[in-house]
Copies of this chain bind each other. A is one copy, B any other.
Amino acid sequence: MFLSELIGIEDAFKIIRNNQKVKEYETISLEDAYLRVLGEDIYSYHDSPPFDKSAMDGYALIAKDTFSASNNNPITITIIDEIRAGDFSEKEVHDCEGIKISTGAPIPKGADGVLMEEFTIANGNNLEIYSQVTPMENIAPKGEDIKKDDKILDKAILLKPSTIGLIASAGYDKVKVYKKPKIKLITTGDELVEPSKTLEKAHIINSNKYIISNMIKSLGCIVEIDYCKDNKDEVKIAILKASKECDIILTTGGTAISKGDVVVDAVELIGEILFHGVAIRPGKPFAFGKVNETPIFMLSGNPSAAMTQFDIFIRKYIFEIQGLKYNPSILKRISKVKIPSNLGRTDYIKVSSDDKHVNYSLNKGSGIIHSMVAGNSYLIIDGNNEGIKKGDIADIIFFKAMELI
């Protein structure tokens, strides 16, 4: 009769954090940068705008020339040139002169305002002006947004459309990023088969392969898939191979705590088990180790437990080895349900939360598969807490807050 010692969740986090492999960098085209993690601080090569720029289609002129203009009392000036976007004018604007100008074009010398086209009527070179312009009106001044050599982005952020646009504006067509982690997923279990309309007796469809591989993809990693029977030698060979090819190994199945189980035993033979069994619910039979310096996370065979273990331990790890901070907001919600827990154990219960309340996501008795797609958040009961009563303020994390994007 063997009862393993469970370690607390904070100790598990600490051991995992102490065994992080930090990733390397690569330089890629900015066109391929979407959802990569920035590997350098970005300093602007340019002022932005690079020159005093017209913010409107209209006429560049001297603001004080317009101060007496109104709808009933237009004034007239002379149009001396035209500047389209991408173009510029060598001419200087003097009193009672104006230059036709497009949005985005550089303000000509002498002018200090732009009057919108709709407040003018042009007759040949004469321009009737029906409205006033204040100095610098409709002008975006050089360097207003960004000054040359300013630091505009810190490294280790996820590159999204707007930040990629910012990097482009700063003058970069290439960018240094963290290499994508390459992760091997090895599902194990004699009973597992591929999806099929008919099933032999005792066979179960390998849903973990589909669930966990896509969770890995959702964190921006490259995933490779392998499968083993419950055979220690087969598992050993697959893990050794993976340890040389990949940055991280994930397994499912073969982690039962009560006995020697195939995956944990195999890792013990070819590497090191750093812990086996964590005081969490669900997901207790979770193990972590190293083989050839490659970290290996051993998840349960039960898909629902494996998903929760992934949420608790793997997301954080993958964020952090890419240089990203992982801090999903913990929010406070009023519980509409009573949930018992045990001291010393951390519970992650899938629930449905809205802007104020938290409720169960499932009827009691619903099984594994339904629980996989249920809820929008975890309710967390930490080890100092014996449970949540109806009306208590509970800690929740929305699933969305745990995602890369």
Residues of A with Cβ closer than 8 Å to B?
1-3, 30-31, 34, 45-46, 48-51, 53, 57, 84-88, 102-106, 116-121, 130, 140, 144-146, 160-173, 189-192, 194-199, 201-215, 217-218, 230, 256, 258-259, 261, 301-303, 307, 329, 331-332, 355, 365-370, 372-373, 400, 403, 405
Closest Cβ neighbor of A331 among chain B residues:
B355
Q: Assess A162 versus B211: contact at CB under 8 Å? Given A189-B85, A369-B169.
A: yes
Q: Assess A190 versus B86: contact at CB under 8 Å? Given A160-B214, A166-B373, A210-B165.
A: yes
Q: Which of A53, A168, A400 has the most CB of B within 10 A?
A: A168
Closest 7 A-B residue pairs measured CB to CB?
A86-B190, A145-B367, A86-B191, A165-B211, A161-B214, A85-B191, A165-B207
Set of chain B residues within 8 Å of A161, measured between Cβ atoms: 210-215, 218, 307
On whether the beta carbons of B195 and A172 are closer than 8 Å, the reply is yes
On whether the beta carbons of B303 and A104 are closer than 8 Å, the reply is no
Set of chain B residues within 8 Å of A86, measured between Cβ atoms: 189-192, 202-204, 230
Set of chain B residues within 8 Å of A215, measured between Cβ atoms: 161
Q: Assess A168 versus B190: contact at CB under 8 Å? Given A211-B161, A258-B57.
A: no
Set of chain B residues within 8 Å of A167, measured between Cβ atoms: 195, 210
Cα separation A259 to B207 with both chains bound (whole Å) = 59
A–B pairs, 11, beta carbons within 8 Å = A51-B201, A57-B256, A86-B192, A104-B189, A118-B258, A162-B211, A165-B372, A166-B369, A167-B195, A171-B195, A173-B194
Set of chain B residues within 8 Å of A370, measured between Cβ atoms: 145-146
A168's partner among B119, B144, B206 (CB-CB below 8 A) is B206
Q: Assess A202 versus B367: contact at CB under 8 Å? Given A173-B196, A194-B173.
A: no
Min CB distance A298 to B, Å, is: 14
Min CB distance A130 to B, Å, is: 7
On whether the beta carbons of B87 and A202 are closer than 8 Å, the reply is yes
On whether the beta carbons of B405 and A197 are closer than 8 Å, the reply is no
Set of chain B residues within 8 Å of A329, measured between Cβ atoms: 355
On whether the beta carbons of A164 and B214 are closer than 8 Å, the reply is yes
On whether the beta carbons of B367 and A259 are closer than 8 Å, the reply is no
Min CB distance A34 to B, Å, is: 5
A202's partner among B51, B171, B172, B194 (CB-CB below 8 A) is B51
On whether the beta carbons of A207 and B369 are closer than 8 Å, the reply is no
Q: Which of A46, A116, A167, A329 has the most CB of B within 10 A?
A: A46
Q: Assess A88 versus B118: contact at CB under 8 Å? Given A145-B370, A161-B215, A161-B218.
A: no
Min CB distance A134 to B, Å, is: 15
On whether the beta carbons of B45 and A203 are closer than 8 Å, the reply is no
On whether the beta carbons of A259 and B103 are closer than 8 Å, the reply is no
Closest Cβ neighbor of A203 among chain B residues:
B86
Extra pairs beyond A1-B118, A140-B368, A403-B405 (7, CB < 8 Å): A57-B261, A88-B202, A165-B214, A169-B207, A171-B195, A173-B195, A218-B405
Set of chain B residues within 8 Å of A31, measured between Cβ atoms: 210
Q: Assess A210 versus B164: contact at CB under 8 Å? Given A104-B301, A173-B195, A230-B84.
A: yes
Cα separation A305 to B70 with both chains bound (whole Å) = 30
Min CB distance A236 to B, Å, is: 18
Closest Cβ neighbor of A192 among chain B residues:
B86
Q: Assess A117 versus B259: contact at CB under 8 Å? Given A30-B195, A51-B202, A405-B218.
A: yes
Set of chain B residues within 8 Å of A302, measured between Cβ atoms: 103
Min CB distance A57 to B, Å, is: 5
Cα separation A355 to B355 with both chains bound (whole Å) = 8
Set of chain B residues within 8 Å of A261, measured between Cβ atoms: 57
Set of chain B residues within 8 Å of A117, measured between Cβ atoms: 258-259
